[in-house]
Structure 1
Amino acid sequence: MRAFLTFSEASGLSMNQDKSKIYRNGVPHLEAEAILQLSGFQVGTFPFKYLGIPISYKKLSNAECNILVDRIVSRIRSWGAKKLRYAGRLVLVRSVISQMHSYWAKIFLLPKGIISRVDAVCRNYLWSGNDDFHRVPAVAWDTCWKFSWWIAQKKDSLWVKWVHHIYKKQTDWWSYNPSINSSWTWRQVCKARDALCPSFSVNGWLNEEYSTHSVYNWLIREHVTVNWLPLVWNILCLPKVNFICWLYVLNRFMTKERLLRYGIINSDLCDLCGTTQETHSHLFSDCCYSQRCLILLKKWVDIDWNGDFKA
């Protein structure tokens, strides 16, 4: 209480005792009552919300984490009325939904069920514009490491100091083994450390060069970069063009040839020329209409526009 008063005198900010609460766990009843009388605070119960996040002294259940899924779904339903295309949906998934998910994931170890539901909602919105989608997506949905690094580097964090005092104490972090009485969350942090341990020294993360991006690249190190990457995901192109090119090289457009195979339509003739089966290669290169469009496009980009543009 003296610390609160000192802070108030220095900053001019005063706490509201009517809105302040004490949350207790494992404290004797008489001691807790004495603290309440001295502070004048009210008694709070777990879980409670702080900045929209449920706070609890134990592992959050799926029901408690459903708040995250509900918020994502409410955002998607408000966006659905705007009738965005693939590129717009992709931007919203990466810039908004993924940030909401990351914010929670930095605070909690989310249950696998919640992570799967978030992935499903994002996937459904990307391919259909809604949170509910029952058809097979055009492309498969491929796909908390920082805690280990914080503990190893002894960052100036209250949580890290608490971990060193309660769990780790004087033991070397890389040789520490959690006891069977440790919490589920703490055991998961140690499990993440074991998975990343071989790569910390190799990648220079022990020298404070850790980043989520570097860990992600290390986790997907076995993936081979395709040769069409700079052509499709080019920062000079519009996002809509990037996405269309991506679907084209993966042969994932719903052409008439595919729709006929699924039994959705009765004819697979191209609507542009009306003479040949509509496939990816025909639609984008072999069709006489497409070829005329390419000729016109080439003539247009060859024009010296006001003397400043020459493709």
Structure 2
Amino acid sequence: MDILNDFASWSGLHANITKTEVYFGGVSPSIRAQILQATGFPEGHFPFRYLGIPLNSARNSVEVYDTLITKIQNSLLHWSNTFLSYAGRIQILNSVIFGLANFWCATALLPKTILKRINKICKDYFWNVEPGTRKLVFQSWKCICRPGEEGGFNIKELLSWNKALLAKWLWMLDHDSAGNWAQWNRAYTFPDSSIWQLSIKDRYPESLCSIIKVKDEILARTGSISTGTVFKALQGPAILPKHRVTATLAALRKLPTVDLLVSRGIVIINRCLYSQQIWQGLVLWMNLPTRSNALDTELNWMVQSRGRHHWKHQWRKSCLAAAIYHIWNERNGRIFSGHETQPATLVEQIKNVVKVRLLASTSQGLCIED
């Protein structure tokens, strides 16, 4: 208290008794009473919040994280009434929503149920799904969260991001010049051992226990306690896979086109035979006469029948839209991941998507046969 009063005498900053509390751990009742009398501060009780983060002497329960869920839902509710493109929604998720979750993810391992709830909220907002309803989507959330060079939208997947943020603290605990927090832990928490040999103990705070869990998972994957080996494993291989190099070059040139990939020596199919096989399979399914397979001709044919509301016209337009999307997705998969789907398999996938779409929009869709 003399130090606090001395600090207040020259800084003008006094401790506010109404906003200051004393928290005890392992202190006898007599000493506790003496401290409370000497300071004049009331005794605080766990759990309490510091900078919005719940602090507790034991592991936090799932209910403690309801505050985070509420903040995210309120933020999205504020933006739900604003018309935004998919690019705008991605910006909201990366800047606003994950800005709220980052602070929590950097303190401890969040329960998987909480992370799944947050991912569900973000996924519904991205696809504009109303609460309590379901909507057919054409891409999994795992694919949406991939990096841009792998065909995703650079949205952080919170389960992996939570571990990555804690791995940063693990790195700090392993380096001598990493700050006062790391030096204090090495001096008082594990003075006679390394962070790589540390095991979870009841007296450790939840944040340190979370770091140890991430450390154990890293060691289980690498099988080594060498810091160089471990962090090389975290950073990934020095030489990127060929499809990632191709995607990076295309992104730098801002021309992710077939011509650019061919000029780089990447062997891909630079013909439309695959698209023709897909469309011909769908034409047979729709019992249409032989088509030209030219995109302009097919689009003009769709425009001419755009005002017709018979279920067969809706069927044909849905087939064309689904074919364009799946062919585009298939080409991305071949370029960036080397994955190839046979035409007959892709035709069946398109059929299933169109059937579900028609069944959801009109009962007459039940008339469609395999």
**Range of TM-score over shorter length:** 0.5 to 0.7
Normalising by structure 2, we get a TM-score of: 0.56
DSSP 3-state at the match of 1:279: helix
CA distance in 2, matches of 1:233, 1:87: 20
Instruction: Map residues 19-168 of structure 1 onto 2, 5 A cutoff.
Output: 19-128=19-128, 134-142=134-142, 143=157, 144-154=166-176, 155-158=178-181, 160-168=182-190
How far off its partner does 1:156 sit? 2.5
Structure 2, gaps ≥5 residues long = 143-156, 158-165, 256-281, 286-297, 306-312, 328-370
Instruction: Map residues 170-209 of structure 1 onto 2, 5 A cutoff.
Output: 170-174=192-196, 176-178=197-199, 181=202, 183=204, 185-196=207-218, 198=224, 200-202=227-229
Give the equivalent residue in structure 2 for 1:272. 303
- Residue identity over aligned pairs, in percent, reads 23
CA distance in 1, matches of 2:75, 2:81: 11
DSSP 3-state at the match of 1:54: strand
Q: 1:251-289: per-residue Cα shift (whole Å, max 9, x none)?
A: xxxxxxx9xx9xxxxxx9965343974235669x9xxxx
DSSP 3-state at the match of 1:22: coil
Distance 1:49 1:185, change over 3 A: closer
How far off its partner does 1:180 sit? 5.3
How far off its partner does 1:47 sit? 1.1
CA distance in 1, matches of 2:23, 2:174: 30
CA distance in 2, matches of 1:34, 1:8: 23
Query: Is 1:225–2:244 an aligned residue pair?
Result: yes
CA distance in 1, matches of 2:116, 2:47: 23
User: Is contact 1:46–1:57 with CA below 8 Å preserved after alignment?
Assistant: yes
Distance 1:73 1:179, change over 3 A: closer
CA distance in 2, matches of 1:62, 1:76: 22
DSSP 3-state at the match of 1:201: helix
DSSP 3-state at the match of 1:225: helix
How far off its partner does 1:190 sit? 1.8
User: Is contact 2:24–2:32 with CA below 8 Å preserved after alignment?
Assistant: yes
How far off its partner does 1:7 sit? 2.1
Partner AA of 2:185 in structure 1: V
Q: Which has the higher mean CA deviation after the structures are superposed, 272-281 or 115-124?
A: 272-281
Normalising by structure 1, we get a TM-score of: 0.65
Partner AA of 1:272 in structure 2: V
Distance 1:11 1:189, change over 3 A: same
CA distance in 2, matches of 1:41, 1:131: 46
User: Is contact 1:83–1:129 with CA below 8 Å preserved after alignment?
Assistant: no
Structure 1, gaps ≥5 residues long = 206-213, 237-257, 262-267, 286-311
User: Is contact 2:167–2:215 with CA below 8 Å preserved after alignment?
Assistant: yes
CA distance in 2, matches of 1:61, 1:140: 30
User: Is contact 1:62–1:111 with CA below 8 Å preserved after alignment?
Assistant: yes
User: Is contact 2:218–2:230 with CA below 8 Å preserved after alignment?
Assistant: no
CA distance in 1, matches of 2:117, 2:71: 12
Distance 1:126 1:114, change over 3 A: same
CA distance in 1, matches of 2:254, 2:95: 16
User: Is contact 2:167–2:214 with CA below 8 Å preserved after alignment?
Assistant: yes
Distance 1:129 1:51, change over 3 A: farther
DSSP 3-state at the match of 1:18: helix
Partner AA of 1:126 in structure 2: F
Distance 1:233 1:94, change over 3 A: farther
Distance 1:94 1:54, change over 3 A: same
How far off its partner does 1:216 sit? 6.8
Give the equivalent residue in structure 2 for 1:169. 191
CA distance in 2, matches of 1:169, 1:7: 32
Distance 1:149 1:36, change over 3 A: same
User: Is contact 2:108–2:210 with CA below 8 Å preserved after alignment?
Assistant: no
How far off its partner does 1:230 sit? 6.4
- How many correspondences in the alignment? 247
User: Is contact 2:200–2:212 with CA below 8 Å preserved after alignment?
Assistant: no
How far off its partner does 1:13 sit? 1.3
User: Is contact 1:124–1:133 with CA below 8 Å preserved after alignment?
Assistant: no
Q: Which has the higher mean CA deviation after the structures are superposed, 176-185 or 187-196?
A: 176-185
Q: Whose helix proportion is higher, 1 or 2?
A: 2
DSSP 3-state at the match of 1:193: helix
Q: Which has the higher mean CA deviation after the structures are superposed, 20-29 or 129-138?
A: 129-138
Q: 1:217-248: per-residue Cα shift (whole Å, max 9, x none)?
A: 67xx8895385566689889xxxxxxxxxxxx
